[in-house]
Structure 1
Amino acid sequence: MKILFVTSEAYPFIKTGGLGDVCGALPVALRKRGIDARLLLPAYPAAMSRARLTGETIPMGNILGVGETRLLGAFEPESGCPVWLVDCPPMFERSGGPYMMYPGQDWPDNFYRFGLLSKVAATIGTAGHLMDWRPDVIHCHDWQTGFVPAYLRAWGVSDPPVVFTIHNLHYMGLFGQDVLKLLGLPESMWNLYGLAHHGLVSALKAGIQYSRIVTTVSPTYAWEICTPLGGLGLDVFLRERGDDIRGILNGIDPVVWNPENDPYIVAPIDPESPEQGKALNKAEVQRSMGLDMDPDRPLFGLISRLVDQKGIDFLLGAVHHLVAQGGSLAVLGAGEPWLEAGLNQAAASYPGKVSIHVGYSEELAHRIEAGADFLLVPSRFEPCGLTQLYALRYGTVPIVRNTGGLADSVVPITHKTGGTGIVFDHALTDALEWAIDQAISLYSDKSRLHDIRKRGMACDFSWDASAKDYIRIYESLVTEPSGT
C-alpha cells in the first residue's frame, strides 16, 4: 500500500513542535510494517541541507502563478525514508521559521505557500505518471495541508481518499475570501458546509469537510473537539462526521529517544535502576544552566512553546511557591514575548534556582528530559503532548493537567496501580501549586519515587500500536467502493 504523507514539517528536516516529531517518526514506523510511505515537504533551506538528494527532478510548472515549481527526489539519511521536496524558491527559500517572519508575525502569503504544497499533493494523487508512483491514500496534517481534499473535491476526484489529522484545532489557517480565486478553488465552496468559518476561509475546516476520515492525536482530544467548549465553532461539523472522527494516541521514536544510548545525555539511564544515571544528568543540567549544584534539591523541567495554551502563566504564578518549597526550575522554550519576559524575570529574581534558555535546542531538550526529576506540562488543553511521553521514558515524573493526550498517557500516582505521574484537574495556579507540593513530598520518599520512575520507563509509547491503527484506517479506505 502506498501512502503520501503531506506535512509542513518533519524531523529531522525541520521541526517547530510535535507535528514535526510525528511526521518524522510515523512514516518510518509504517515503512517497517511494509507500507510504502513517502513524505511531501516544502523545500525549506533547512530541509534541503538535511535531505540526501537523489538527483531526480520533476518539473511541475507555475501551477499557482507564484513561481516555477519542481519536485526534488530525496531521502532521509538515517532511516532511508523517501521524501519529495516541493521546490519553489519564491515561496520557501526564506530565512526565519516555516510559518513566521519573526515571532508573532505570520508570513502574509502563507495561503499561497501551503496552497501550493496542497495543490502539488493533490496533483500527485491524480497524476501518478509524474513519478511512476500514485498513492492509495493521502495522509494530510493540520491546516497547512487542508486544501488537499478541497482541490480533489473541486476536480471531482474521489480517489485517492484523504485522511486528515488534526494536531491542534486552535490553528485554523484563516484567510480572506479572496484567496479562493487566487488558489483556483471554486466560489461554490464558500458556504457553511464548505470552508467558510465566521466570514473567513479556514484551511483546517476544508480538511474536516472534504477528507474521508478525520483523526486526532489522542482519544480524549477527539472527544473534546466535538464539544462546544473544545470545538471552537467547528464542533457541530465534527459531530456530524460521527464515526469518521478517530482518536489515535501519538507515539514516540524509541531510537531517537532512548535513555540507554542517547548521544545527547552525559550518562545512560538504566530502566531497572535509574537513580545513578538520573543524578549524573541532573548535575549536568544544573551546571550547564547555571543552577545551584545541589543534588538534594528537586529539579523541575519545562520544555514548551511559551504560549497561552501551555499554561505558562500558571507557572509564572507558581514560581515563588516552587522555589520556596525547595525546588529549582529549568525552562527551554520560546513564544509570546510577555511570557518570555516573565520567565526571564523569574530567573533574575531567583538566581541559581530558576534558569531559562529562550529558543530551541534538541540537545538541551534531551538533557532536561533526562536530568529533571519532574517535568511540568500545565496545559490548558493538549491534543496529545509528547514531552510527557519522553519524560516517562527517561524516568522523569510528569506533572500534567487532566486534559487531552495528557489524560490518556499519564496515570495518576493516586491510582491503585501506583501510577506514573502527578495529575491535576483545574487550569489554575493554585492547582499547579498543589501538584508541586505532591512532587516535593514524593521526592522525599525515595522508595516510592523509584517505583514510579520504573513504571514510567516500562511504558511502551512507541509507534507500534498507533501505526497498526493507522494501517487499519488506510486498509478500510482502500477496500471501500470508490466515491463512498
Structure 2
Amino acid sequence: MSLKILLASSEVVGFAKTGGLADVAGALPRALAARGHQVAVVMPYYRCVRTSKLPVERSEHVIPVPVGTRTLACRVFRSMLPGTSVPIYFIDQPEYFDRDDPKVGRGLYQQSMPGGYKADYIDNAERFVFFSRAVLEIAHVTRFIPDVVHANDWQTGLVPVFLNEIFRAKPQYEHTRSVFTIHNIAYQGMFGREVMKLTALPGWLFNHNQLEFHGHFNFLKAGLTFADAINTVSPTYSREIQTAEYGCGLEGLLRQNRMKLFGIMNGVDYDAWNPATDPYLPKHYDVDTVFEVKPDLKAELQHKYNLPLEPKKPLLGVVARLVSQKGIDLILSAAPGFLDLGCQMVFLGEGDPEYHNELQQFRDKHPQQVGVNIGYSESLAHLIEAGSDLFLMPSRYEPSGLNQLYSMKYGTPPVVRQTGGLADSVVGATHETLQAGMATGFSFGDYTANALYQTIKWAVTLYRDRPKDFQQVVRTAMRQDWSWDRSAADYERLYERVL
C-alpha cells in the first residue's frame, strides 16, 4: 500500500544540521520513497539555507499562520532532497529563522554568550509554535494531505496537537494520523504557561494530563500525549525512558502510553559511509581487502595527528560531542591506563570547555601517544573511522548512535557501553560470541572507568595475541546491514499500524 507521508523536522542534512535528527530527516524520506511511498519534508527556511548555493526556488504559495493575536503571512520555498525527487518545503519567516550565523556565534536554536557558554533564543517557544502550525497549513495549500504526518523532537511537538484539536475538523484531515519520534528525551522544550496564548488552543488543555508539566508548557509532552504512535530511535532506549534513570521526568507518562510506544533503530546512509567508495579516504577497501589497506590509512591518521608511525600500537579513535552524555569523563579517567597498555589515542570533537582543556593538557603531557583536534572536520571524521583499530563510544546514554554503525562498516570494532542503540547494534566479543561468529565489537555494562579499561584491555589482548579472533570481529562487523531500507520497513509497519 502506497502512503502519503509528511515528515516535519527542524533540521535536515544537506540544508541545516546540528545533530543526528538532521541525518534521520534526510535519509528516512529517501528510503521511504524508494519503497514506493509519496513523501514530502518540511523545515524552516533558515539563513544557512537562504544564503547557500543549494537549488531552492520560491513557490507561489503564501500561507497565513496564526501566532497568538497575530496572523503572519509566510512564503513557501521548495527544493528536492539531494539526489532524489522527494520535495522539501521551507517555511519562510525572517522574524524567526533568518538569524543563524556561525561567524558571530548564532546557531539554529542558540547563540554564544560572553564566557563561551551557549544560551537558547528567548523566543524559541514562539518560533516553534509557529513552525508546528505552519507544517499543517503548508500541507493544506500544497494539497499534499498526508495519511501520516511524522513529527520529530520537541520543535514539532505541537503538530499532533494542532492536528487533533484544529485540523481534524477539516474533512480532508479526517483520516490523517500522527507519529512522533523522540530522538533525545533530555531536550523537551520547556517554557512558561504563557505559551498557551501563542497556540490559540483552548485553555483547558493546559492540565497535567495533556500540555502542563510541573507548571510549565512542555512541547515534548504535547507530542507524546496527542500523537497516535510514539517511537524512539532504538528498542532499548524505548524501554530505558520508561525508567526514572532515563525518563527525565516523563517516565510515568511513557509507561501509561507504552502500548503506543515503539523503538526503531536508526539506519546508515551507506552512500556517504562506505569505505569502498568514501571520497574522503585516500585508499578504498572492503571486507576482502581491509587488512591490506587499513595499515596505510592508520599511518595517514598518525601523520595527521603528528604521532609516531607505530603500526603495531593499537590506535583508539574518538569522534564525539565532548559532553558528559558521550562518556568523555570515563575516557579521560581510564586513558592513562590505555597508554600504559601501549595504545595511541586520537580525538575529534567539540563541546564543554572543561573537556577541551583536559584533553589538550592530556595531549601536552603525552604528545607521542595522544592527538587532539578541537572542532569538527568531515574528512578527518571519516579517516578516524577508517584508520583507527578500535573506536571508543562509552556513552552514559545513547538513544540510537550512528558512529558505532559507521565503525562496524569501516572494520574498526566499536567499544561501547550497553545502553540504548549501542546495546541494540553491537554484539560484544566474549568467548561465546567469538565461538559463534557473532561478535561485532566490545561492550560493558557498568558506567565506570574500570569497566571501560578492562574492556579495552580485553580488546587489546585479542588485537595483539589472538589476531585471528580480532580479524573475525572486524569481518563480522563489516558484514552487518544497518541500511535505511531496513529502518524504513519498520517505519512503514508503524505507519500502517496507526492507520
Question: Where on the TM-score scale, by shorter chain, does this alignment land: which range?
Answer: over 0.9
- Distance, in Å, in 1 between the alignment partners of 2:136 and 2:82 is 27
- Distance, in Å, in 2 between the alignment partners of 1:52 and 1:403 is 40
Q: Higher mean Cα deviation, 54-63 or 80-89?
A: 54-63
Where in structure 2 are the equivalents of 1:437-456 lying within 5 Å?
A: 437-444=457-464, 445-456=466-477
Structure 2 partner of 1:249: 265
Are 2:165 and 1:154 aligned?
yes
- Distance, in Å, in 1 between the alignment partners of 2:9 and 2:469 is 42
Structure 2 partner of 1:60: 63
Structure 2 partner of 1:259: 275
**Structure 2 counterpart SS, 1:229:** coil
**Structure 1 counterpart SS, 2:6:** strand
1:350, CA displacement in angstroms? 1.5
Q: Higher mean Cα deviation, 290-299 or 30-39?
A: 290-299
- Distance, in Å, in 1 between the alignment partners of 2:86 and 2:304 is 35
Query: Does the CA-based 8 Å contact 1:52-1:76 persist in structure 2?
Result: no
Query: Does the CA-based 8 Å contact 1:70-1:87 persist in structure 2?
Result: yes
Structure 2 partner of 1:25: 27
Name the amino acid aligned to 2:119: Q
Query: Does the CA-based 8 Å contact 2:26-2:81 persist in structure 1?
Result: no
Are 2:404 and 1:381 aligned?
no
Name the amino acid aligned to 2:224: I
- Distance, in Å, in 2 between the alignment partners of 1:77 and 1:423 is 36
Q: Which residue of the other structure, out of 395, 399, 405, is the alignment partner of 2:411?
A: 395
How high is the TM-score relative to the length of structure 1?
0.94
- Distance, in Å, in 1 between the alignment partners of 2:40 and 2:227 is 19
Query: Does the CA-based 8 Å contact 1:54-1:73 persist in structure 2?
Result: yes
Query: Does the CA-based 8 Å contact 1:7-1:140 persist in structure 2?
Result: yes
**Structure 2 counterpart SS, 1:370:** helix
Structure 1 partner of 2:377: 361
**Structure 2 counterpart SS, 1:239:** helix
**Structure 1 counterpart SS, 2:447:** coil
Name the amino acid aligned to 2:123: D
Structure 1 partner of 2:353: 337
- Distance, in Å, in 2 between the alignment partners of 1:323 and 1:107 is 42
- Distance, in Å, in 2 between the alignment partners of 1:28 and 1:165 is 17
1:218, CA displacement in angstroms? 0.7
The alignment covers a number of residue pairs equal to 475
Query: Does the CA-based 8 Å contact 1:51-1:75 persist in structure 2?
Result: no
1:90, CA displacement in angstroms? 1.9
- Distance, in Å, in 2 between the alignment partners of 1:184 and 1:467 is 35
Please list the CA deviations of residues 321-380 of structure 1 after superposition, one character each: whole Å capped at 9, or x if unmatched.
Answer: 112211111111111221222212212222132222222222221111111111111111
**Structure 2 counterpart SS, 1:60:** strand
1:475, CA displacement in angstroms? 2.1
**Structure 2 counterpart SS, 1:40:** strand
Structure 2 partner of 1:412: 428
**Structure 1 counterpart SS, 2:271:** coil
- Distance, in Å, in 1 between the alignment partners of 2:301 and 2:310 is 11
Give aligned-pair identity as a percent: 40
Please list the CA deviations of residues 93-142 of structure 1 after superposition, one character each: whole Å capped at 9, or x if unmatched.
Answer: 121221211253212211122222211112234x2xx1132111110111
Q: Which residue of the other structure, out of 187, 194, 215, is the alignment partner of 2:203?
A: 187
Are 2:123 and 1:124 aligned?
no
Q: 1:79 to 1:288 in 2, by over 3 A?
A: farther
Q: 1:326 to 1:66 in 2, by over 3 A?
A: farther
Where in structure 2 are the equivalents of 1:464-483 lying within 5 Å?
A: 464-478=485-499
Query: Does the CA-based 8 Å contact 1:222-1:246 persist in structure 2?
Result: yes
Name the amino acid aligned to 1:434: Q
Q: 1:358 to 1:184 in 2, by over 3 A?
A: farther
- Runs (4 or more) in structure 1 with deviation over 4 Å come to 65-68
Query: Does the CA-based 8 Å contact 2:65-2:134 persist in structure 1?
Result: no
Structure 1 partner of 2:291: 275
Q: 1:330 to 1:67 in 2, by over 3 A?
A: farther
Structure 2 partner of 1:139: 150
Are 2:368 and 1:352 aligned?
yes
Name the amino acid aligned to 1:398: P
- Distance, in Å, in 2 between the alignment partners of 1:47 and 1:453 is 39
Q: 1:50 to 1:190 in 2, by over 3 A?
A: farther
Are 2:188 and 1:178 aligned?
no
Structure 2 partner of 1:307: 323
1:154, CA displacement in angstroms? 3.0
Query: Does the CA-based 8 Å contact 2:61-2:75 persist in structure 1?
Result: yes
Q: 1:50 to 1:26 in 2, by over 3 A?
A: farther
- Distance, in Å, in 1 between the alignment partners of 2:285 and 2:180 is 37
Structure 1 partner of 2:96: 91
Please list the CA deviations of residues 185-213 of structure 1 after superposition, one character each: whole Å capped at 9, or x if unmatched.
Answer: 33222111112222211111111001000
Please list the CA deviations of residues 452-475 of structure 1 after superposition, one character each: whole Å capped at 9, or x if unmatched.
Answer: 111000000001221111111212
Structure 2 partner of 1:318: 334
Q: 1:321 to 1:188 in 2, by over 3 A?
A: same
- Distance, in Å, in 1 between the alignment partners of 2:306 and 2:380 is 13
Query: Does the CA-based 8 Å contact 2:322-2:350 persist in structure 1?
Result: yes
Structure 2 partner of 1:14: 16
**Structure 2 counterpart SS, 1:63:** strand
Task: Return 5+ residue gaps in structure 2 as ranges.
Answer: 169-173
1:67, CA displacement in angstroms? 5.6
Are 2:81 and 1:76 aligned?
yes
**Structure 1 counterpart SS, 2:404:** helix
Please list the CA deviations of residues 220-241 of structure 1 after superposition, one character each: whole Å capped at 9, or x if unmatched.
Answer: 1111111232222211111111
Q: Which residue of the other structure, out of 395, 414, 423, is the alignment partner of 2:443?
A: 423
**Structure 1 counterpart SS, 2:474:** helix
- Distance, in Å, in 1 between the alignment partners of 2:383 and 2:224 is 38
- Distance, in Å, in 2 between the alignment partners of 1:50 and 1:206 is 36
Please list the CA deviations of residues 5-54 of structure 1 after superposition, one character each: whole Å capped at 9, or x if unmatched.
Answer: 11111212122222111111111011101111111111123234254224
Query: Does the CA-based 8 Å contact 2:184-2:399 persist in structure 1?
Result: yes
1:448, CA displacement in angstroms? 1.7
Structure 2 partner of 1:482: none
Q: 1:310 to 1:476 in 2, by over 3 A?
A: same
